[in-house]
Amino acid sequence: MISYRLLIMCLWMTSVVVPVCAQSVPAVDQIYDPKIQTVLLFPQLAANAADNPSETLNPPVISLDETAFLQLEFDDLTANYRSFRAKLMHCNADWKQSVLNDIEFTYEYNDNPITDYAVSINTKVPYYHYKFPVPRVKLPGNYLLIVYDERNRSNIILTRRFSTYQNRIRVNAAVAFSSDPSRQFTDQQIDLAIDYRGYQVISPQDDFRVVVRQNYRDDRTIGGLRPTNVRAFDQVLEYRLIDLSNTMPGGNEFRFFDIRTVLSRANFIDRIERPADRNIAYVQPDQARSRGAYIQSDDFNGQYVIDHRETGNGATGADYIETVFTLRIPELPGVDVFVNGAFNLWRLDDRNRMAFDAASGTYQAAILLKQGVYNYDYIVRTSGQPPRVDEGYIEGNYSATENEYEVFVYHRPPAARADQLVGYRRMSVNRR
């Protein structure tokens, strides 16, 4: 006969570990509801800190040993209040769901209502702005934040990746131009060394999983790196590869434009139209940059900042602008052209696909964007199988480009059931 206390404990454990469609949700950054826009997930140092638009430029990666927390913000363009809830899913280094139960990585019940919201103020496109402080977790590693409709638990609204770390090992890294003479003007090379003194590991050359990411983009990563030298006495692993598997195209500095105001034309805005139902901003026409010398310019490495010039309140004061992009290049048969950036979570889909206009001889796309300062570039994708994505075809690749890199080092400790992020390092190259 089962005691009353044991029965209650079993019911509580069951309620914690039952996922909300977590088994079928891909662990990727994705917006499933077309009415949801401008999804931001970024670290904040304190809950009562003043809103600072530049905070959103930092990646959603925080240390468990610091007081920073992650803030989720998004807009609902239905202009009606909807009840949303959020939960977390723990993932291994390969971003596949781990076998951990919720109580093994969360401090509280893993199903939280999103109750902080506000209505847009004096905007032609009305919306509700939601905020949600992501609960702290127990373990360092990869997580997926899942937001779903409270009235329909199977209706996933959006998903966003984030990571937490504890630096139990030391990562030394340096970025320079490629050691291959044929790539020294186009590619950047990342040399690494992992110092694991004082950290228990059984087989260092096999147990650590290293991932290098460029400009906080999950579509620009290097994985599967193997150490080239194991200094067992010093407890150091060196990654100085000669097969070029640790090199990445440098890309180019991102293009940018400013739509923080519609009262006048700001940087790289050609003209602004103001019909009754919306505002339309035309970005100055662009040309290909893949030929010619590298030109130095400052950028956000593909990110964007939400802001409103007149009120300083980008959260609810910024309007949504129909932003028109124009690219002057000849038509490319059998190739799709996209205007891309963090504003689209680096995804290539119908929202940012460009159409060729034969009359003007240009590719064009109109995208609804919240007021702010945006980085973007142009990407081509072939229609073959498998399709091939080329960011350098229009933008070019230069080793002199300023880029941000992150190094993630994962390890599964003895007797642990999931991978943990035991080393993290951020670094810049060609910063000016």
CATH of the domain at 413: 2.60.40
- Amino acid identity of 174? A
* Closest C-alpha to 348, from 69, 133, 54, 28: 28
pLDDT at 20: 53
Which residues of the chain, if any, have pLDDT below 50? Answer: 1-19, 48
47 with 144, same domain: the answer is: yes
292 exposure class (CB count in 10 Å sphere: 0-12, 13-18, 19+): exposed
Torsion angles phi and psi, residue 17, rounded to 5 = -90, -10
Instruction: Report the C-alpha gap between 387 and 183 in whole angstroms.
Output: 24
192 with 150, same domain: the answer is: no
Whether residue 158 contacts residue 347, with contact meaning beta carbons closer than 8 Å, is answered with no
How many domains are contained in the chain? 3
pLDDT at 313: 93
276 with 194, same domain: the answer is: no
Could you check whether the bond before residue 19 is cis, i.e. omega within 30 degrees of 0? no
57 with 151, same domain: the answer is: yes
208 with 76, same domain: the answer is: no
- Looking at 136, 165, 194, the residue that finishes a domain is 165
pLDDT at 9: 41
pLDDT at 386: 87
Domain limits for position 182: 170-250+401-429
**What pTM does this model have?**
0.92
Whether residue 140 contacts residue 421, with contact meaning beta carbons closer than 8 Å, is answered with yes
- Looking at 144, 165, 186, the residue that finishes a domain is 165
Q: Give the CA-trace dihedral at 263, 268, 270, 273, to 10 degrees.
A: -40
pLDDT at 45: 78
152 with 183, same domain: the answer is: no
pLDDT at 8: 39
55 with 97, same domain: the answer is: yes
76 with 209, same domain: the answer is: no
10 with 145, same domain: the answer is: yes
186 with 275, same domain: the answer is: no
User: Which H helix or E strand runs over 10?
Assistant: helix 4-17
- Looking at 150, 165, 180, the residue that finishes a domain is 165
Instruction: Report the C-alpha gap between 143 and 81 in whole angstroms.
Output: 27
269 with 358, same domain: the answer is: yes
121 with 59, same domain: the answer is: yes
pLDDT at 10: 42
